[in-house]
Structure 1
Amino acid sequence: MTADLTITAVHLTPILVADPPLLNTQGVHQPYTPRLIIEVETADGITGVGETYGDAKYLEPARPLARALVGRQVSDLNGLFTLADEVAVDDSRISGRVDVGGLRGVQTADKLRLSVVSGFEVACLDALGKALGLPVHALLGGKVRDRVEYSAYLFYKWAAHPEGVPAERDDWGAAVDPAGVVAQARAFTERYGFTSFKLKGGVFPPDEEIAAVRALADAFPGHPLRLDPNGAWSVATSLRVAEELGDVLEYLEDPALGTPAMAEVAAKAGVPLATNMCVTTFGEIPEAFAKGAVQVVLSDHHYWGGLRATQQLAAVCRTFGVGVSMHSNTHLGISLAAMTHVAATVPGLHHACDSHYPWQSEDVLTERIAFEGGRVTVSDAPGLGVELDRDRLAFLHRRWLDDDGALRDRDDAAAMRVAHPDWVTPSVPRW
């Protein structure tokens, strides 16, 4: 009997999930961060799940897209993108502003649409895989590896959110100096088996972050190391850091802001440069590749437009001899499963992928995805191979409903002002 793949309902559930006080160049993570869980139901009673950013500016276009999908085929993924192009976006809310949640440069209406449609694409692929009895990686052409390697994502971190701020407790402790960063890396290794390390920089003066990377190199000799200041440095500072750390860095991620500055650094640094800020759309590729501004593109399926777009990006990168890996935002298990499925299909994935998942103490799945030896085993179960925990989903949605609006849009600078009232988002370059 042929499966009925007609979409009969789409459910959107915004949630707030606990987030530790992780520092970046713009401020500190709020105690809770918004995510959007998407469920697509078919006429046969199959439900597929997806996940993306949950800020209000993403919810607004997600709602009309959800309504437009009802009655269409869950397999019509190309049509999904056509529908998304027709969804209006309020440009006044985003144009010219920096995307705080992803720290990926200036926002546009098209970028926002892609971030929204990516969650729907994953949900449709999950439902289609379940209907056909195939894992998502099979729908994408088949896996080329059984396990996907991830890197420990290290952050400078406070021991806790400011006193008096409602927040969940964590046992990671503080990391505000080289010793704290090394201790954090050891904890990641003991708990999850990671063998490569990325430090989120742009928080302290460059010499302090150079010392932290040196301490990591001493503690984990021969292990791949990365440093990502999110464009906080000038070209001159970027070149100095590259010279200081060139013998231990796998790559330097977005040291300076924008393709012209990155090209200047790349021409002289002697260290590969990676990005998830100056190349975030296909339209940004020609200039960056022609100028040799980046040697590794860090894809994020949330804002490239989904899993198939990630495969397309990887193919373009192969054509031009540019490496590819994966960037991470503050994601839950649905997104980690999706990342793992598409990463399993990408040939020449020579760099471990990023993941925030170990930092997230809460999830919407019945079973957390496990890291073993720093790797996630690719599921061969139908769809994504994950199951939604409806009680947890309802709990996290209730937290979102109970919020007065202060946490429904991520704002790292606002969170920093709770502890430092005079904090102003630093101008770039910061150093």
Structure 2
Amino acid sequence: MKIIDIRTRCVAIPLNAQLRHNTGVHPGYFLRTILEVVTDEGITGLGEVGGGDQRAALQKLKPRIVGMDPFHLEMIKLKVLRSIYYMSNARLYAAIEMACLDIQGKALGRPLSDLLGGSVRQEIPMIAYLFWRYNRPGGGDDEKAEDLAALCTELHETLGVKAMKLKAGVKDPGEEARVLELCRKELGDDFGLRIDPNGVWSVQTAVRIGQRLEALNIEYFEDPAWGLQGNAAVKKQIRIPIATNMYPARFEDLAPAIRMDAVDIVLTDIHYWEGPRGVKDLVAVCNTFNLGIAMHSGAEFGIELAAMLHTASTIPTMNFAGDAHYHYLTDDIIQGGLMPYRNGCIKVPEGPGLGVALDEEKMKFYEKYYEEKGDYYARFHQDPRRPDWFPTVGGL
């Protein structure tokens, strides 16, 4: 079997609100680049990557993988990810690996999870991911902690989720801490609480808020301050586990993070960590050093979510509910539409490979939608309410 072509398309899907974060605003839609890897045996594998329009970047890699066997992932990784440093992009390679594993599973008639060692669970618990919103359903913006506590309760009741994470670094840190305090009061001691300012807070602010939150027995404090040094400094002064999807977010930084005692829990991400197989490599290191494992979300659509679910299902030590922006999407590009939540979980897709297929009518529709809306990564995540605003790391 040989790869004979790759096809790339960019699509955008509306959200039910504009989602604020510490570097701007998702302007009412998410966008993804969809990859199709075509083989000479008529099997096509699907991949997906975020970060704006990646079509040209992926096409630049096409000469490196056409003619390759999709089972020879070590060689493909060497040619795509290791050979020329200024073309090296773990996120692009991960989309290719995802598609090749989809091909392998389809060729063998086995789910992707079987290629990673086999599932130890058939469904993955997910969280209520909380964002401060503009233009929320029903109108208005989220202004105070009570608004997000109400959203958390709503998601608990409608999706069955049993944990939450607040995307912080948007409002006053004290007001954001109050969101968790209200959720604890409303949803009880067994409901999981997390907070993630994405490294924007100063060490002093992160320590102050962390010490305030200690009484809530939260699951973890994610990227409280900037960089390995920032996380390590906060970790020394609070009694809450420190998690990260930023520092480290690549293998080169994993050993320094462990030596510095900068992290307790690493959030896996298929793209940062070089595909599903790279996530398994990461887990092996984390298990060796008794680091916790959780699952990160990158605003994915159904293709990448399927890959995440398959990968997570094969990790016995992943005992945290997974991140997902998925409940903000109004639709999906896969056949059958949005994957359903049941009792706070999403089922691992069945069938060979990823277990999902593209809905071509929706692909065409959301390709047109992308062309109308454009690539907001190219113009920065602008805040429509504050046109002159820009993020400041350590400013709080």
1:297/1:325 contact within 8 Å kept: yes
Residue 232 of structure 1 is aligned with which of 200, 219, 237? 200
Residue correspondence of structure 1 range 136-175 to structure 2 within 5 A? 136-160=112-136, 170=137, 174-175=141-142
Q: C-alpha distance in 2, partners of 1:292/1:217?
A: 29
Residue number in structure 1 paired with 2:101: 125
Residue correspondence of structure 1 range 70-85 to structure 2 within 5 A? 70-85=66-81
Matched AA of 2:168: G
Residue 308 of structure 1 is aligned with which of 259, 267, 277? 277
Matched AA of 1:363: D
2:200/2:393 contact within 8 Å kept: yes
Q: CA deviation at 1:62?
A: 0.6
Q: C-alpha distance in 2, partners of 1:11/1:260?
A: 41
Residue correspondence of structure 1 range 17-416 to structure 2 within 5 A? 17-19=13-15, 20-53=17-50, 55-56=52-53, 58-85=54-81, 110=88, 113-160=89-136, 170=137, 174-222=141-189, 223-248=191-216, 249-367=218-336, 368-403=338-373, 405=374, 407=376, 409=378, 411-412=380-381, 415-416=382-383
2:220 match: secondary structure: strand
Q: C-alpha distance in 2, partners of 1:358/1:65?
A: 33
Q: C-alpha distance in 1, partners of 2:308/2:215?
A: 30
1:134/1:380 contact within 8 Å kept: no
Matched AA of 2:194: R
1:391 match: secondary structure: helix
Residue number in structure 2 paired with 1:428: 393
1:22 match: secondary structure: strand
Q: Give the direction of change, closer, same or farther, for the CA distance of 1:204–1:124 in structure 2 (3 Å limit).
A: same
Q: CA deviation at 1:43?
A: 2.2
2:143 match: secondary structure: coil
1:376 match: secondary structure: strand
Q: Give the direction of change, closer, same or farther, for the CA distance of 1:410–1:149 in structure 2 (3 Å limit).
A: farther
Q: Give the direction of change, closer, same or farther, for the CA distance of 1:347–1:406 in structure 2 (3 Å limit).
A: closer
Matched AA of 2:68: R
1:190 match: secondary structure: helix
Q: CA deviation at 1:227?
A: 0.5
Matched AA of 1:270: R
Q: C-alpha distance in 2, partners of 1:325/1:16?
A: 27
Aligned positions, number: 392
Matched AA of 2:249: T
TM-score (norm 2): 0.94
Q: C-alpha distance in 2, partners of 1:182/1:86?
A: 45
CA shift digits 1:380-404 (9 cap, x unpaired): 411111111011111111233345x
Q: CA deviation at 1:135?
A: 0.2
Q: C-alpha distance in 1, partners of 2:82/2:178?
A: 50
2:300/2:325 contact within 8 Å kept: yes
2:272 match: secondary structure: helix
CA shift digits 1:195-245 (9 cap, x unpaired): 001011011111111111100111111211000011121111111111111
Matched AA of 1:80: I
Q: CA deviation at 1:44?
A: 2.5
Q: CA deviation at 1:421?
A: 2.5
Q: C-alpha distance in 1, partners of 2:8/2:95?
A: 10
Question: Percentage identity across aligned positions?
Answer: 34
TM-score (norm 1): 0.86
Q: C-alpha distance in 2, partners of 1:275/1:129?
A: 31
CA shift digits 1:6-45 (9 cap, x unpaired): 2232111112222431111122112333310011122222
Q: C-alpha distance in 2, partners of 1:175/1:311?
A: 38
Matched AA of 1:23: R
CA shift digits 1:156-203 (9 cap, x unpaired): 11125xxxxxxxxx5586433121111111221222110001011011
2:6/2:59 contact within 8 Å kept: no
1:30/1:411 contact within 8 Å kept: no
Q: Give the direction of change, closer, same or farther, for the CA distance of 1:84–1:207 in structure 2 (3 Å limit).
A: same
CA RMSD, 1 decimal:
1.9
1:175/1:184 contact within 8 Å kept: no
Residue number in structure 2 paired with 1:98: none
CA shift digits 1:126-181 (9 cap, x unpaired): 11101110000001111111221111111111125xxxxxxxxx558643312111
Matched AA of 2:282: L
Q: C-alpha distance in 2, partners of 1:226/1:149?
A: 15
Q: Give the direction of change, closer, same or farther, for the CA distance of 1:157–1:275 in structure 2 (3 Å limit).
A: same
Q: C-alpha distance in 2, partners of 1:410/1:308?
A: 33
1:61/1:87 contact within 8 Å kept: no
Structure 2 unmatched runs, 5+: none
